[in-house]
């Protein structure tokens, strides 16, 4: 599993997600599933977690390509008591939010749209 390759300066761009009490973790995954930045609770076995996240998002993207849908922008997995919310940053990077409960994601989507341009610029 890839080692974290933390990119300085990402944490302040991720910390606004923690202002929402339902958000437990916000992280950015880079090439190969490397964790580039993370705030909030560290997921259990983070190296495996990030590789699984990267793989799932990649598979969902391939499914979209094969079925003729446009580029995958986001993916939400709902578990009992938690949601994993993935957002594409660019072809190599994804934002992952671990959200407690199964509440509405509208406010989080707005926050993602507000923060993504800054995250994109930071990774460039």
pLDDT by residue (tens digit) across 55-77? 998 899 899 989 988 788 999 99
Per-residue CA distances from 26 to 46, 60, 102 (Å): 12, 20, 17
Confidence (pLDDT) at 4:
59
- The average pLDDT across 114-123 equals 92
pLDDT in tens, 6-54: 778 899 999 999 999 999 999 999 988 899 999 999 998 998 999 999 9
How many Cβ atoms are within 10 Å of 85's Cβ, its own excluded?
A: 21
Helix (H, G, I), strand (E, B) or coil at 7: coil
pTM: 0.88
């Amino acid at each position: 599993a890839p080692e974290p390759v933390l990119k300085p300066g990402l944490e302040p761009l991720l910390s606004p997600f923690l202002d929402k009490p339902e958000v437990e973790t916000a992280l950015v995954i880079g090439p190969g599933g490397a964790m580039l930045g993370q705030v909030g609770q560290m997921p259990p076995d983070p190296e495996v977690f990030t590789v699984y996240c990267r793989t799932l998002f990649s598979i969902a993207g391939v499914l979209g390509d094969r079925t003729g849908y446009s580029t995958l922008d986001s993916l939400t997995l709902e578990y009992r008591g938690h949601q994993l919310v993935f957002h594409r940053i660019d072809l190599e990077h994804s934002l992952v939010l671990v959200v407690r409960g199964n509440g509405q994601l509208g406010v989080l989507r707005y926050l993602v749209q507000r923060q993504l341009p800054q995250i994109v610029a930071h990774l460039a």
